[in-house]
Amino acid sequence: MSETLVLPTRTSLFHVIDPRVFGRPLLDELCSLATRVRQAAKTDAGARALRDLLPTRRAMLYFTQPSTRTFLSFNNACHILGMRTSEIRDPSTSSEVKGESFDDSIRTFSSYVDVIVMRTKESGRAAQAAKLMNGIPRPVPVINAGSGSDQHPTQALLDIYTLQRSFEEAGGIDGKVIGMMGDLKRGRTVRSLCYLMRNYSGVRLVFIAPEQFAMEPDVKAYLDQHRIPYTETNNLSDALPQLDAIYVTRMQTEWDTAGESRAIDLSRFSIGAPELARLKRDAIIMHPLPRGAEIDPSVDQDPRAMYWRQERNGMWMRVAVLIKIFGVENRIDEIERV
């Protein structure tokens, strides 16, 4: 996949397809940008100045797989920057039903907009769109907003932002023990987050999953290659006391072919009052959402529950990504002075 990509550097970002191309300087820069922009937006003058950043730019939100958070946070991130948005969420309303090919549809979007944000049920579609863009006279950046059960790079960016903010006073992400729990086999968020972990030293991962939904070998091979230690267990209770963060995921029932998810005793992979009692006092609980029964709503009241803040962090991280793509990060200085 990665041969189709324009690699980002600290100073540029074009397509956002595969989290493996993100290095630490760019991650740090995006996190810093997200925080600076959310601070600037707190005043009316700052919010107005942000709206003046990209008023001539247009985004296509092409989401043919369901989404609440990613769609709304990208939509609002665009509006924060003064961008206009178009959308297709139901392919039955596009000319694909008349037989237009995927490539022709993407090329058509690119005729009208300056960036394409896309979520698809199939893996590899965003990479295919980026490759197509790389071969046409007026390419526009493509952002992968979730591709099948494969990757969700902007979710991983917002997860890094959440971890970094949460551990700001505790040495950052370096050296932390991070648990990932649930359907790790079919969850694209944990796959993408694992890839970004190579940027942090001393991190240890603990995968907590039913055997049939364990992390896939390709991700484990990547972790081995980058010497990121991980252990695997199906015993949540034993794993909890060592964790600085637990990243909970739901069963990805949409990929079931014969009700596989129903065979799982989800109570063994869920957070409620007994699990809170075994978690460090300063640990955090994350979840990409939407949640199922794996986090009891009563946990929302616990100060360690980070998932609602994580959701909001997503909008600011997506603002930062758009700012980097359009190369206007140097104008944030003047906005901070208004």
Catalytic: 152? yes
Q: Is 98 a catalytic residue?
A: yes
The DSSP result for 94-143, as a single string, is SGGGGT--HHHHHHHHHHH-SEEEEEESSTTHHHHHHHHHHTSSS---EE
Q: Which of 107, 119, 186, 318 is catalytic?
A: 119
Is 291 an annotated catalytic residue? no
Residue 251's closest CA among 182, 328, 150, 179? Answer: 182
Separation of first and last alpha carbons in the chain = 43
Q: What is the DSSP letter of 16?
A: B
Based on the residue annotation, tell me whether 287 is a catalytic residue of this protein: no
Closer to ligand CP at the Cβ: 239 or 245? 245
105-113, 251-259, 260-268, 286-294 -> range binding ligand CP (CB under 6 A): 286-294
Binds ligand CP (CB under 6 A): choice among 289, 315, 321, 322: 289
Q: Is 70 a catalytic residue?
A: yes
Q: How far is the CB of 69 from ligand CP (least distance, A)?
A: 4
Which range, of 16-24, 41-49, 179-187, 284-292, touches ligand CP by CB under 6 A? 284-292
**3-class SS at 178?**
strand
Q: Count of residues binding ligand CP (CB under 6 A)?
A: 9
User: How far out from the chain centre does Cα 262 lie?
Assistant: 27
Q: What is the closest distance, in whole angstroms, from the C-beta atom of residue 284 to ligand CP in the complex?
A: 17
Tracing tokens 């490539």 back to the chain, one arrives at: 103
**Which is closer to ligand CP, CB of 55 or CB of 297?**
297
Q: What are phi and psi of 218, to 5 degrees?
A: -65, -40
41-80 mask for ligand CP (x: CB under 6 A)?
A: --------------------------xxxx----------
Of the candidate spans 125-133, 231-239, 262-270, 288-296, the one that interacts with ligand CP by CB under 6 A turns out to be 288-296
Q: Of all helices (H) and strands (E), which one includes residue 58? A: strand 58-63
246 contributes a contact to ligand CP by CB under 6 A: no
Task: Check binding of 155 to ligand CP (CB under 6 A).
Answer: yes
In this structure, what is the dihedral angle of CA atoms 240, 247, 188, 263, given to the nearest 10 degrees?
Answer: 50
Catalytic residue among 20, 69, 220, 331: 69
Q: For residues 235 and 276, is the Cβ–Cβ distance under 8 A? A: no
* Binding positions for ligand CP, rule: CB under 6 A: 67-70, 146, 155, 288-290
Which residues are the active-site residues? Answer: 69-70, 98, 119, 152
